Structures are given as C-alpha cells and as structure tokens.
Structure 1
C-alpha cells in the first residue's frame, strides 16, 4: 500500500541513500578530475622544462629534441610571438596556425656578458642560460596532424645563452582524463539505480519483518473490538524493543479496561440489588396502606424512604467521583470541621469524644471531607461497644484525622477489602443495621482525590479499629 509505513520507510531510505550517493559520486568525480588534470599539468610542466633546459644550455632551436606532437605538443616562442621551434605535426594551437621561423645564423648560445646578468638580477627575470621557476597552466586546444584535441598546457619562461627571452609551451592531452572520468561516471549511472533498488528492497523486507508484531497487535485488537471480549490479550514479542513495550502497555490497558468494566458491571448489579430491597419494601407498605389504611406502617415507610435517599446520594457521589470530578480548592480547618460535625450528631448510640485539637488547615471540599468523617463515624457507631474517639494532629508533612472505636476491630486480611464497594464483613448483619457497604469506599475515593489516603493502620494489641485519614496541609 502506498500509504503504509513500509512504503514510506522504503521510499525515505531510498531518497536518503540516493542523495548521499549523488553527493559522494559528485565529490569523487570532482576529485578524480582534479587529480587527473593535476597529473596532466605536471606532465606538461616536465616536458616544458626539459625543452627549456635544452635551450638554456646552448642547444640550437633547430636541434632541439622535442617530444612527439601527439603526446606533448610543444611550441617555443620568442619575443613578439615569433615561433622558434614546434613539435612535428603540430599545425595550430588554440586555433592559431604555428610555423617555425628560420634559425638565426650561428644557432648557438654565446656566453652572456656581466652587465646583462646584473640587469636581469635587478629585474627579477631569469638570467641568460637559466629557466624561470614560475610556471603557468592553462587549458587549450592543439591541431596535431589534422586532429584537434583538448590539452593542459604548461608555460615556462627562460633565456637562451644569447640573453633572448623565450617561452616554452608544452601540452598534455586531456582525452585520457576525460575518458577516465566518463568511465567512472557511466559506472555510477549504471550502479546507482541498481543500488537504490537493492536499498528499497532490503528496507521493505526489514521494515516488514520489524512491523510484523505490530500487525499481530492490530489484528488482535480488531478481534477484541469485534468480540468485546476484554479477557483476550495481544501477543507480546520476545524482543525488548519499542514494539514489545507497546504490546505490554496495550495488555496493561486491556487489563485495566477489563477491571473497570467488571467493576462497573458489579456496581450496577449491586446497586440494582441494593435499590430493589427498599423499593420493594416501600411498595409493599404503600399497597397495604391503600388496601388497609389502618395497617400502614408510616415510620417504616419513612425509614425505607430515607434509606433509599441515602443510597441514591451515595451512588450519585460515586458516579461523580468516577467521572473525575475535582474537589474544590478551599481552605478547610479540620479541627473546626470535626467539632461542627460531631455537635450535629445528636442521635448517635454512643457519644463521640473529640480530643481538643489545634487549628490545622487543608485544601479541598469541606462537604466531601465532612462526608468522609460522617461515614467513618457511622461505621464506628455500628461496631463500637462503648467508645468512639476522634483526633486531629500534625504528623510530619501530613494532617492526620483518626477515628477509633472499641469494637471487634478489622482482621488484618480484610483491611483493604473493606474499602471495596458493597463489601461488608458481617454478611449476616441486617441490611438496615449494616448499611449498603458504600461508606468506606466513598471515603477512600474522596481521600485519594484530595491527594491523601485512608487506611487501617496496625494499632496496639487491643480491641477496636482505627481509621486514619492523611491529607496534605494547606501551604
């Protein structure tokens, strides 16, 4: 598929390799061309200096040993461009015909006078019989026996034994250099597409193999979505790479989703069961009251209505907490809240004792924190024998609220289970006395959303239960 990851990866790798090869090939060609031109220039310079040395040492122009025109065409010119010597078969240089002038009488190179040497030294020019160290290079053409070719020329200046200045222009053919560069270029043009095909194919195969586990994960997720079976898991590769971590994370997400869905199912089932009892009782009483008004149990109907109202309020609060409702960000004085809430509990079976705490503020929702305290006190009232006690204190970096009772306590193995929804340790207890099993679950959820915790710590070896609420104090 053109839009697949494999296709994009193969195309991207091919483009990158192509650009890299083009850049590298261009650099290689430029370096190769420069080196070959340098070698041609060096060969031309050697040929020019050999001829210049012959003239400087007294060899007559007509007796010079000049190289073959095909290999190194040489033209020796004097002042005003007069051609003094030229290689055999060389007809023109840079499109200009060259003809050798007749040699001067004597043809030799007499020893120069001292005055001429002094003048040459002062002007910086080569002395009679010497070759200039400086050399100039230029590209041009030469017609050798009717064949015009490109050459790299070297120009060397010198003076003969008579003090006459001359210039030796020797060339080296550029045809071998261009042939070599062309051969390398042609090889690259042929090899580059083949190499790109190999790169694309290898990238496709490697990417396909690397993404095979992803396809397995996708297929399994599609099957899970179609079957709605959250107990299934995606396959986890053995490799410890990003795909394996993706598979593990996906399975963890599926496990959390399965747990959440199962929790919601249990919640709905338990809520339906809990609501059925007071609704059925209330309906029965109302039906009896309609048929026999004298038998209507008004207090019982009111009690069932209150119980139904409380259960509905608990379910509504749990729904808001599950939806991620954030608590208010107000300052709440825990000590003042405890005193106010305890003072309003006039119908408790056992009076609540409150230690005289100092002011200790936390941030959050006062109504929700009051709900936590109320649920803890309701739980203590159901289990206490003769004492319920509330304390508020500062413990390190935490504000701590404790609710203690002298009842049977909480078994160590049940100290986490009691915070689950609709869980009650005494299943034989009447529902009216034991509640619906939501109070402690609500209290822990509120504590966690306030950045704290609600636990049953290990207390001293005595009867009773201790519930400890820890909250971060207000800054």
Structure 2
C-alpha cells in the first residue's frame, strides 16, 4: 500500500534529481565555454610568440626558408624553436606547402595532418579558429590559424592547435565527477527525505491510532492530541476534536431524550397493566 511518506520521498528525490541535472548541465556548458576561451587565449599567445620569432629571424637573417632539399623548409635553426613547442605547430608558405612541423604535428598521420592544416589554405588575411575532432587518443583539437605578413614572402601562415582535454579539470573531468557524485547525493537525499517525511507525519499516526480507539458512543469523551507545531496537522486535530465534541453532545441529547421518553411512557403502561389485571 503506497503511503504519503513514500510518495513524498519519491517526489522529493525526483525534484532534487531534476535540479541537480539542470545545475550540472548549466555548469558543464559554462565550463566548456570557459575551457574554449582559455585555450583560445593560450593559442593566441603562442601564435604571437611564434610570429615574432619568425619576423625577428627574418629581420636578422634576411631569409629563413631554405630550398636545399626536394621541397622548401624553414631554416633548421629557426624550426628547432617551433619543434620544441609541446602543442601542434604548422608553418606553411603562401601556397599551402608545409615548411615546418612541431614534434606533436609530426606524430600525426598523413590524413590527420591534412585535416589539421586545411585552415592554412584560407584567403590572404584570414584568421580562423575552431575545433577539429580526431579519434582516440587525441580527441578534439582547438586550433588557431593566422597569416604571417612580415617574415618574408616564403612564409605565408602559421597554425597552432592543442587538445581540448589538456585543460585542467575540463568538461570531461567535470562530467566524470558529476556522474560519480550525483548517485551518492541522490541516495543520501532520498534517505534524509524519507526520515524527514516520517518525522513530519508522525503526529498523523498518533491521530489515526487515537481515532481508531473511539469505537462507540461511550468513548466520545476522548480527544486527539494537538501538536504544538500550529501547522495543518494541528488544525486537523482541532477540527476532529470539534467534530467529536459535537458528536458527544448529540449522543448526550439522544440519551436524555430516550430517558425522558421512557419515564413518560412508564406511568400509562402501569395503569393499563393494573386495569388488565
């Protein structure tokens, strides 16, 4: 048999679950946007440093692209700085030919490297940023591609990218934490809600037991205990006590009427009996 206590506990748990889900979703979205802003600021700083390095190197050396091999490439002394960067760094000329790669970019497959360097083919003066999703273990990469205009005619653009998962306590870590903590919170809240519902409804059980003890007209003098809380349960007890008082008064009036009618009928019946005898 479903009880009010159980129903209150279930609805309390459901309402809390919806609240936690809504709050967690809003927190996840906000944290994801904050992570993207942090990554964009980091990439912009690294890109500015890389552009300055290329520009200053061109100013000092006069030419920073060599063509000794089968394809053009950055001077080894200059590209060594870019190769040491932990993130993905790609330098290309104005035609989209790759001039230098960091160690992280060299570890990509040919197909992944082509996907990542695709923003470098945008028109002159374009600045592009976005997210490219790769398979495991890299996952989504946030990138920033921009033109390099003062590093010589051979250098056209530079792209920097980093993993979205590199953010400290990023969206994924937050989601894992919420999935671990939410069941514990809901279970604890259900237990506390069940206890609170039982505590709140305890006076009702007393009213039920007292009302069941009133079995006939001779026990109408009994009254229900009124809680001191002054809430709806106290009002219910007062209302039932008023009803019992009216019932007691009605039963008392009926008893008096019965006694009076019996007394009035007693004398004529005795006269009739004497006449018959």
TM range (shorter): 0.7 to 0.9
**Structure 2 CA distance for aligned equivalents of residues 184 and 162 of structure 1:** 45
Alignment of 1:433-448 (within 5 A): none
**Structure 1 CA distance for aligned equivalents of residues 269 and 21 of structure 2:** 83
- Decide which structure has the larger Cα Rg and report it: 1
Report the Cα offset of residue 33 of structure 1. Answer: 2.1
**Structure 2 CA distance for aligned equivalents of residues 197 and 89 of structure 1:** 45
Report the Cα offset of residue 279 of structure 1. Answer: 6.4
CA contact (8 A) 1:10 1:204 kept: yes
Q: Secondary structure at the match of 1:151?
A: strand
CA contact (8 A) 2:91 2:155 kept: no
**Structure 2 CA distance for aligned equivalents of residues 213 and 161 of structure 1:** 84
Match of 1:201 in 2: 191
Match of 2:51 in 1: 52
**Structure 1 CA distance for aligned equivalents of residues 3 and 250 of structure 2:** 34
CA contact (8 A) 1:45 1:135 kept: no
Select 1:181's aligned residue among 149, 166, 171.
171
**Structure 2 CA distance for aligned equivalents of residues 245 and 142 of structure 1:** 66
CA contact (8 A) 1:140 1:150 kept: yes
- Between Structure 1 and Structure 2, which shows a larger proportion of strand residues? 1
Q: Deviations over 1:76-99 (max 9, x none)?
A: 12233211222245324761369x
Q: Secondary structure at the match of 2:159?
A: strand
CA contact (8 A) 2:105 2:113 kept: no
Q: Secondary structure at the match of 2:82?
A: coil
Determine whether 1:223 maps to 2:238.
no
**Structure 2 CA distance for aligned equivalents of residues 54 and 278 of structure 1:** 131
CA contact (8 A) 2:127 2:146 kept: yes
Unaligned runs of 5+ in 2: 59-63, 65-73, 116-122
**Structure 1 CA distance for aligned equivalents of residues 172 and 124 of structure 2:** 42
CA contact (8 A) 2:141 2:163 kept: yes
Determine whether 1:30 maps to 2:26.
no
Alignment of 1:332-343 (within 5 A): none
Report the Cα offset of residue 125 of structure 1. Answer: 6.3
Q: Secondary structure at the match of 1:234?
A: coil
Report the Cα offset of residue 170 of structure 1. Answer: 0.4
Report the Cα offset of residue 18 of structure 1. Answer: 1.3
Match of 1:455 in 2: none
Determine whether 1:96 maps to 2:113.
yes
Match of 2:67 in 1: none
CA contact (8 A) 1:52 1:156 kept: no
Higher RCO structure, 1 or 2 (CA under 8 Å, sep 6+): 2
Task: Please give the root-mean-square deviation of Cα atoms over the aligned residues, in Å.
Answer: 3.3
**Structure 1 CA distance for aligned equivalents of residues 229 and 259 of structure 2:** 42
Unaligned runs of 5+ in 1: 99-123, 127-133, 292-475
**Structure 2 CA distance for aligned equivalents of residues 280 and 267 of structure 1:** 20
**Structure 2 CA distance for aligned equivalents of residues 36 and 151 of structure 1:** 12
Report the Cα offset of residue 276 of structure 1. Answer: 4.6
**Structure 2 CA distance for aligned equivalents of residues 89 and 181 of structure 1:** 23
Q: Secondary structure at the match of 1:96?
A: helix
**Structure 2 CA distance for aligned equivalents of residues 274 and 142 of structure 1:** 105
Alignment of 1:7-406 (within 5 A): 7-57=6-56, 59=58, 60=64, 61-62=74-75, 63-64=78-79, 65-66=81-82, 68-69=84-85, 71-88=86-103, 90-91=105-106, 92=108, 95-96=112-113, 135-140=127-132, 150-160=140-150, 162=152, 166-177=156-167, 180-225=170-215, 228-277=218-267, 283=272
9-18 or 269-278: bigger deviation: 269-278
Tell me the TM-score normalized by structure 1. 0.47
7-16 or 254-263: bigger deviation: 7-16
Q: Deviations over 1:359-412 (max 9, x none)?
A: xxxxxxxxxxxxxxxxxxxxxxxxxxxxxxxxxxxxxxxxxxxxxxxxxxxxxx
**Count of matched residue pairs:** 250
CA contact (8 A) 1:213 1:237 kept: yes
Q: Secondary structure at the match of 2:215?
A: helix
Q: Deviations over 1:23-45 (max 9, x none)?
A: 21222222222212221222122
